[in-house]
Homo-oligomer: A and B are copies of this chain.
């Protein structure tokens, strides 16, 4: 069952994908091992490995040493959302970006914030709220707490011309983070900023980032009603 010489790992990948989509290899099926496929395709095993590894990363194949490679029974669709700087997001849509600082204060944080950031309940943190605009319409409301105990530089920034969003990315590294998506009703205050009725359904993204063992920032970004995040799978 020799196939024409496929020289690139992409072409091997395409052929493997074709076989999966054509159901020649069905979900759950064990596929031939790398050495056999290499012989079949007339290429080196490393080339097959590259192709299969990449498909496994995408969730279409499941690989285990010694056990072999099988087609994922229920391929988990991996939706990768790019969480970019909000300014870029707006500009990429071809709109004019605007920015308004709504609040900047150093104060003791609510307990759920200080707990999330792992700081003492008495520590004063930097609280920044800002509105991001797209063609002068409210686009997203950023409600952020910065761990100014570990990021003291933040206290010297007024965040009037550069958003905390951008300043942090440029200035403070992080090694890991958590992110969550939810739909929540807009509070009276949120609704005022976003120029929408109270209790409107808004998309909320919560992020918590850490630099090694130090928390950096906790932020909630609320998008104006109707906002969609899109991606391909």
Checking B21, B74, B230 against A180 with a beta-carbon cut-off of 8 angstroms, the contacting residue is: B230
Give the contact-size bracket for chain A: 35 or more
Cβ-defined contact, A232 with B182, below 8 A = no
Asked if A204 is an interface residue, CB under 8 A from chain B, the answer is: yes
Checking B21, B22, B183, B212 against A225 with a beta-carbon cut-off of 8 angstroms, the contacting residue is: B183
Cβ-defined contact, B82 with A78, below 8 A = yes
| Residue numbers in B under 8 Å from A23 (CB-CB) | 173
When A21-B175, A175-B21 are in contact, do A180 and B78 touch as well, CB less than 8 Å? no
Asked if A213 is an interface residue, CB under 8 A from chain B, the answer is: no
| Residue numbers in B under 8 Å from A73 (CB-CB) | 170
Cβ-defined contact, A182 with B203, below 8 A = yes
| Residue numbers in B under 8 Å from A232 (CB-CB) | 176-179
- Determine, out of A83-91, A123-131, A153-161, the stretch whose residues face the partner at the interface: A83-91
When A21-B211, A74-B166, A176-B233 are in contact, do A226 and B80 touch as well, CB less than 8 Å? no
User: Can you name 23 A-B residue pairings with CB atoms under 8 Å?
Assistant: A17-B175, A21-B173, A74-B88, A74-B169, A75-B169, A76-B82, A77-B84, A77-B177, A78-B83, A79-B80, A178-B231, A178-B232, A179-B230, A179-B231, A179-B232, A180-B229, A183-B227, A184-B201, A199-B201, A201-B201, A203-B203, A207-B233, A209-B233
